[in-house]
A and B are shown apart, each in its own frame.
Chain A
Amino acid sequence: MASEILLGKTVLISPFIGAVIVSILAFLHYSRGNKHEGHDSGKHDTHEEHTSIHYTRFENVVSTFGILSILVSWLSMVLLAINYLPGEEHETLQSQFGFFGFKEGGTPDIPFGLLIDPLSVYMGLIVTTLALLIHIYAREYMHGDAGYSRFFATFNFFTGVMLTLVFSTSFLELFIFWELVGLSSYLLIGFWFYKPAAAHAAKKAFLYNKIGDITLLAGFLMLYRYTRTLDFVELPAKMEALTDQQIAIVAVLIFGGVIGKSAQFPLYTWLADAMEGPTPVSAILHSSTMVKAGIYMVARVFFIYYEAHDGHNVFAGAEWALTVFAWIGAITALLAGLQALVENEIKRILAYSTVSQIGYMAIALGTGGKTAAMFHLLSHATFKALLFLTAGAVIHAVHTNNIWEMGGLRKKIPKTFWPMLIGATALAGFPGFSGFWSKDAVLLAAYESKVPGHLVIYYLGALTAFITALYSTRFIYVVFFRTPDPEHKEHVEKAHDGGFFLTTPSIILGVLVLIESILFIPVFNFEHWLNEILEPEVKPEAINYVVAGSSAIIVLLGIFVGLVLYHWKPELRTSLYNIDAFNWIANEFIAKRYRIDQVLYWIANAPVMWVAGILQSIDLKIIDRTIIDTWIVKGSLQLAKISDVFDQGFIDGIVNGVWQIFLYFGRQFRKLQTGLVSNYATIFAATLVLFLTYVNFLVLFK
């Protein structure tokens, strides 16, 4: 036990140490008079400046330390998993290195520390493995960037923060690191902050996340009020004492946080904009960290929704929250899938596909399939990291993001093509590949669940599976098989594979996806094993051949339709786009993100504008019309008439003189004025009178 705690601490601390070392190295480097990141250093603009041997040596040192620290973390994570996971009984280990509690003499109610249980070990293994591969990839990908050391410091910090979130032992600790994940992703998405799009995307990600965080904070505050503890170990036992209403409040507030962080409808548009960050950032954000944090958190606090000792019994209060969540997942999966179908930028296609796949996980959680969700999380994390890394390599090779400016790259960059093909096949859910098994588990959970309307959710999920297969076929075909357009032929010709660090991680990931695909075959009982370690209290579902068979058919159909539309009969696509309604839906509605941003903006803005409008109309109507029109304008007209009579030379002079004097004093006193201070004093006095009146009423009507 002691060794496991020690390993766990190493897992968490090592990335932070890496971040510190990198920062110190950068400090030494720049304080020796080396040129700092300039005012206008764009990645490509100053490429020459930052390829000097000296800078490259600095890069190598920085990345070596960055990668080493993650390697240490990964190694200790693997050792921890080897020590911990095998065997029958999995004791929950907790090490507190601090606590946060109000009760006198009692046990600490909000511990800070390390929680080792199968869920956190499983998740930690995914995070460290992918982080390690992506770090290795970034070593070459970021080469020549002016902010190389800044990147590695932030990236290490981000990894450490995410790992600490995973191993959090109380809700408050989880929330703090949840916010830090948001903060460091802000820094990473806005890494090229001199690009306005990146700066904007970073801000948007931060603010959209923040909306979710508000409800999350309110949710666990309420939970603390009801149970008097935020300890993940103690909480499950206390949940049964709560009333339905209390559970409902907590359940729905916590889902609010997930919607923001895990990019669910309607707060998912930030994730596509977040593509402005460097590709390694997208890869880690989408595969194992950040967006998965929401899914992980729900799995962690699943006892709020389902009774801890009997996972089949849903709390009556949580039922509708779960239903809503499953529906949101289904809608998100479908909407984002459609959007991936019309998107032209390769990274954005993958971003929407992530949103869509997380929708699947939300479906699984909402319909009670914690195992299915974590299962899909694993397979998605692997193939999505693979897809992003290869997409980065493709962009690296052809220097464009738009898939229609690529084509026929299959022969040019084979070391990128084969891994990407494997990843896309898994994403499409081709029968036998990892994505197929995990998606099948999700669909099965929806199919067998007791949630109202679960069959509709299942059908929506199946439809999304079709769309997923379709868009996977689309981008693979367009990028690798299609004959490139003549005007883009030139850079396609020049394309070549990246170096060792750029290709190796993708190849490793490709192999991993293949291994997973084999491991997930029901014969090897992976899902049952997962079920046993994650929720031993729940009996696993038997494989349902109807669901599995139909999803296999759906996927094959999707790939077939894709090939028809893009390979065999491309003219069919043209005729489809010639239909006005179709064209409008694709280009004006879906491609413009269903106008979600505008609607959200309107919702946020309308009440403010409404109040402002009222205030303005008061200003216009009452002050302008009444006072100025009636009294001042008419009054002065009268005055003018009278003064016209008097206005005979000498009066003019006096009036002017007096006016000048007043104006002078007015200018002098305008700020010191009796006016403003007395206004203030009037406000005070009026409020005091208000208080006294209030008190008076209290006295009189007691």
Chain B
Amino acid sequence: MSEYEIVIKSFMPIYILIGGSILSLLMDWLLNEEKNKHALPSITLLTLLLSAFSVWNRPDPALFPGNPAMFYFGSYYVFFALTSIAASIIVVLAAWKDMELELSLGVFYALLMLANIGIFVIGASNNLIPLYVGFEVLSISTYAMIGFRKKSRSGAEAAIKYFLLGALSSGIILFGMSLYYGATHTLQMNSTVAAALVSSGSSPNAFGLFTMAVLVAGVSFKIAAVPFHVWVPDVYRGAPLSVTNFLAIGSKAGGFAFLFKLFFVALLTIKAGWAPVWAGLALLTMVIGNLAALPQTSVTRILAYSSIGHVGYILIAMVAFADGSTELAVVGALYHILANVFMKGTAFVVVLIVVLTKGGDTLDDFKGLGKRDPLVAFFMSIALLSLAGVPPFAGFFGKFFLFYAAVDSGNMYLAVVGIIMSATSLFYYARIIHVMYFYEPVDDASDQSQPRFLVLLVALLLANLALSLGAIFYTRSIVDFATQVAQEFFV
């Protein structure tokens, strides 16, 4: 294969997504709305699947031209690309019904595909420029998706809020990156270049510390770590629910891809500097996220705070990574991010179903769901138990890996706080289950069965169970994969 061919093939998934988004914009213009209602999501699904297929059939990443190469399409890339495609498929299937009445739907699906490109590029970058470009592509498409429902005031408000704060954090990140460049005189990320951030021994020098502080603040916004989480409940509540779903599962995975690239690769040498900062943020995020969820009455807000809590669990991996349990930390983080896609995805799809039939997302609207629609209530209960970390669902194994990584790296306190907080979280998850089963429906609104939703929910449940069975029977393969990913960090 010539170099040219390798580049083309490596970028093929991204080209396919670009093609798909152009096609959907054209269709918006060419076909009428009635046809587009079904044609657009189908085209998007097809594009996503094609793209996933070509991610799988990528050429050997080591052959990518350039010295040093700007991109590396390795296991890390594959994991995040496939995770984001899985998340997007969930979102498309949910949006099929959720967004069907919107005008210029083609724009929405085009934006969704573009957001995927952002995550792909983040996963593959070896250089700060493409890394940042990917990050912005992801961010800007999500800003637009949040405000997509033009007549909805809360949507517009959420979009503006997210945009203003996002712009602020982008600025902070750029500042951090320029500091990095100032210190190292390169934008290439690898573990040896970053030596310029370290003074004698292994402690970071002033340059390194400032770079680190600024980048921590910038990235924390994207992944919504406390105290940079304040936007989450408002934006999750304001955005259309299928977009909220994408924010919680897809965009979040992208944020973590960005975080790990920056800190595990670019700033690896100064891990002694950032480990305590992330430890503090992980503690804060776990505690505040889970406590703040307790008094909420809107299920969307409960889930919003619960996803803040989950960010806290995943941040444990940062500390464990820095303190030597490299592979375990990677296993925990990646596994939990993937598990999050399935369980949080299910929960938001169920919220969407309830909102579509009842018009609201408060606990009152969930009353009697167990009788109105036993299947949906069942899937919701499984998803919530999984989120709470009750075995044998995937959420349990994610937490088990993470807490074990904490224990293994000698940070017992993180595991203890995590375990206590996940027990606390059971209270608000159990409240939803309680409301669904132990209360009579407020009125007799009968839910129209949506076969498409049911198929999606079944698929998500199966994925959840498959993931937990994978944890039991294929732990070694999971660990091997994580080892590969970790080796990519240390190039």
**Which A residues lie at the B interface, using CB under 8 A?**
39-40, 98-102, 104, 110, 112, 172, 175-176, 179-180, 183, 190, 193-194, 196, 199, 203, 206-207, 210-211, 213-214, 217-218, 221-222, 224-225, 671-672, 676-677, 679-681, 683-684, 687-688, 691-692, 694-695, 698-699, 702
Contact = CB atoms under 8 A, between A and B. Distances in A.
A677 B165 contact: yes
B79 to A, nearest CB: 19
A176 B416 CA distance: 19
A680 B209 contact: no
14 contacts: A39-B440, A110-B475, A176-B392, A179-B390, A183-B390, A193-B437, A203-B434, A217-B403, A218-B419, A225-B404, A671-B157, A691-B213, A694-B213, A695-B209
Interface of A is mostly: helix
A221 B157 contact: no
A194 B371 CA distance: 11
Contacts of A677: 160-161, 164-165
Nearest to A109: B475
A100 B419 contact: no
B368 to A, nearest CB: 8
A193 B154 CA distance: 38
A681 B210 contact: no
B398 to A, nearest CB: 14
Chain B interface SS verdict (over half): helix
A221 B403 contact: yes
Contacts of B178: none
Given A100-B472, A677-B161, A695-B210, A207 B228 contact: no
Nearest to B476: A101
A214 B209 contact: no
Interface centre among A40, A190, A194, A221 (most CB of B within 10 A): A221
B216 A210 contact: no
Interface string B429-449: 010001001101100000000
A521 B384 CA distance: 52
Contacts of B403: 217, 221
Interface stretch (B34-42, B117-125, B316-324, B420-428): B420-428
B355 to A, nearest CB: 20
Contact of A692 (B210, B328, B368, B440): B210
B213 A210 contact: no
A101 B214 contact: no
Contacts of B210: 692, 695
A688 B217 contact: yes
A681 B423 contact: no
B228 A225 contact: no
Nearest to A686: B227
A100 B390 contact: no
Nearest to A194: B438
A206 B441 CA distance: 24
B407 A225 contact: yes
Contacts of B64: none
A225 B408 contact: yes
Contacts of A39: 368, 371, 440-441
Contacts, number: 134
Contact of B423 (A104, A214, A695): A214
A692 B172 CA distance: 12
Contacts of B483: 104
A673 to B, nearest CB: 9
Nearest to B238: A671
B99 interface: no
B438 A688 contact: no
A684 B228 contact: yes
Contacts of B153: 671
Interface in B185-239: 203, 205-206, 209-210, 212-214, 216-217, 220-221, 227-228, 230-231, 234
B157 A672 contact: yes
A588 to B, nearest CB: 30
Given A176-B391, A221-B407, A672-B160, 11 more contacts: A100-B472, A102-B327, A102-B479, A104-B483, A207-B427, A218-B419, A222-B407, A683-B228, A684-B169, A695-B209, A695-B210
A691 B217 contact: yes
B277 interface: yes
With a 10 A CB-CB cut-off, give which of A112, A225, A688 has the most chain B CB atoms. A688
Interface of B: 153-154, 156-157, 160-161, 164-165, 168-169, 172, 203, 205-206, 209-210, 212-214, 216-217, 220-221, 227-228, 230-231, 234, 273, 277, 327-328, 368, 371, 385, 390-392, 396, 400, 403-404, 407-408, 412, 415-416, 419-420, 423, 426-427, 430, 434, 437-438, 440-441, 471-473, 475-476, 479, 483
A214 B157 contact: no
A183 B385 contact: yes
A691 B278 CA distance: 11
Contacts of B476: 99, 101
Contact of A218 (B220, B368, B415, B473): B415
Contact of B404 (A99, A193, A224, A688): A224
Contacts of B420: 214
A387 B68 CA distance: 78
A676 B209 contact: no
Given A176-B392, A214-B423, A672-B157, A702 B415 contact: no
A217 B205 CA distance: 40
Sorted nearest first, the 3 A-B pairs with minimum C-beta distance are A691-B213, A176-B391, A199-B438
A222 B368 CA distance: 42
Contacts of B205: 699
A100 B438 contact: no
A517 to B, nearest CB: 40
Contacts of A684: 165, 168-169, 172, 217, 221, 227-228
B286 to A, nearest CB: 14
Contacts of B234: 676
Contact of A683 (B161, B230, B412): B230
Contacts of B161: 676-677, 680
A98 B168 contact: no
A196 B234 CA distance: 34
A632 B212 CA distance: 43
B430 A206 contact: yes
Listed residue (A101, A222, A698) with the most chain B CB atoms within 10 angstroms of its CB: A698
Given A102-B479, A112-B472, A691-B217, A221 B168 contact: no
B430 A207 contact: yes
Contacts of B206: 699
A179 B388 CA distance: 12
Contact of B213 (A190, A683, A695): A695
B217 A175 contact: no
A698 B203 CA distance: 10
Interface centre among A39, A110, A695 (most CB of B within 10 A): A695
A114 to B, nearest CB: 14
A50 B475 CA distance: 49
Given A218-B415, A684-B168, A100 B407 contact: no
Given A39-B440, A221-B404, A695 B169 contact: no
Contact of A699 (B157, B209, B416): B209
Nearest to A211: B423
A672 B234 CA distance: 11
A101 B401 CA distance: 11
Interface centre among A102, A211, A699 (most CB of B within 10 A): A102
B475 A210 contact: no
Contacts of A175: 391
A207 B426 CA distance: 8
A671 B157 CA distance: 7
A101 B474 CA distance: 9
A214 B217 contact: no
Contacts of B437: 190, 193, 199
A284 B214 CA distance: 59
B213 A688 contact: yes
A684 B164 CA distance: 12
A180 B164 CA distance: 46
A538 B210 CA distance: 64
Given A221-B407, A699-B206, A691 B440 contact: no
